[in-house]
Amino acid sequence: MDPVLIKDFFEEENTHWWHVAKRRMIKSFLPIAHGRVLVIGLGGGLLCAELSKTHEVIAIDISSIACAHANKTYGLNTIVCDLKDGLPFRDAQFDLIIMADVMEHIDDDAELLTQIKRCLVLGGFLLLTVPAYQHMWSYWDERLHHFRRYEYKALRNLIKNQGFSINRISFFNAIIYPAAYLRRKLIKNMDHNVSDFKISQGGKIINAIMAAYYLLERGWSHVGSIPFGLSLFVLAQKK
């Protein structure tokens, strides 16, 4: 991720509705109340800081800047790690591995899932989010250095083929799908040097409205599968 986006992430992670909604979604599906957790991809470190109150958390990231920020700001246990080299941990070491919007950055996603399975205890959980729909591919994916976006069936099959059972899979971020489609596909001559997060920031009123919507969406995702959305969420378990 380029330095401008990293800076935006650090500044907005606490308050921007996108980041807040994703953290709350992940926390609402935590399959264990306590245990050893690996977080792959730090972001700004706030999710790890919140989880560390109840879990033993280790976080890894390819960015030394992100690791230094999380260590300084939250006192987190972080490791700089390039996932192309595999996960630097022993077999069966974690009860839960969280990977939020990371797998799309990895060329060989099947090998990464194999590594994750190796590091989980038997019956351990994988919780992940990824961007949905290859037809939504745009300049934004290129700026974020994505290799792909994911289709529902392809993601489900990928995870099953690596030896996981799927407890829950659903789209989310449904409300912003139409606006994102218009912005990324139909509106021309945009300033691509500006972060989409900055454009959609909206202030306290928008954050409050979006918080209310995402409360409803999380409730929906717990009782059924949301049929479309800008992102996909999976809770899987090592067989």
Lowest-confidence region among 5-9, 77-81, 138-142, 195-199: 195-199
The CATH number of the domain covering residues in 3-238: 3.40.50.150
Predicted confidence (pLDDT) per residue in 129-181, tens digit: 999 999 999 888 988 899 999 999 999 999 999 999 999 999 999 999 998 88
Q: Looking at residue 206, what is its pLDDT? A: 87
Q: Looking at residue 6, what is its pLDDT? A: 65
Query: Would you place residue 216 in the very low, low, confident or very high pLDDT band (cuts 50, 70, 90)?
Result: very high
Could you tell me the pTM of the whole model?
Answer: 0.91
Cβ atoms 152, 170 nearer than 8 A: no
For the beta sheet containing 56-61, the strands, ordered from the edge strand earlier in sequence to the opposite edge, are 78-80, 56-61, 36-40, 94-100, 120-131, 231-238, 164-172
99-118 average pLDDT score: 97
Question: Residue 153: exposed, middle, or buried by beta-carbon count in 10 A (0-12, 13-18, 19+)?
Answer: exposed
Parse the chain into domains and list their residue ranges. 3-238
Q: Among residues 39, 69, 71, 68, which one has the least CA distance to residue 56?
A: 39
Cβ atoms 7, 28 nearer than 8 A: no
Cβ atoms 47, 28 nearer than 8 A: no
Asked if pLDDT for residue 199 goes beyond 50, the answer is: no
Q: Looking at residue 57, what is its pLDDT? A: 98
* Residue 133 to residue 27: CA distance in whole angstroms: 24
Asked if pLDDT for residue 1 goes beyond 80, the answer is: no
Cβ atoms 131, 146 nearer than 8 A: yes
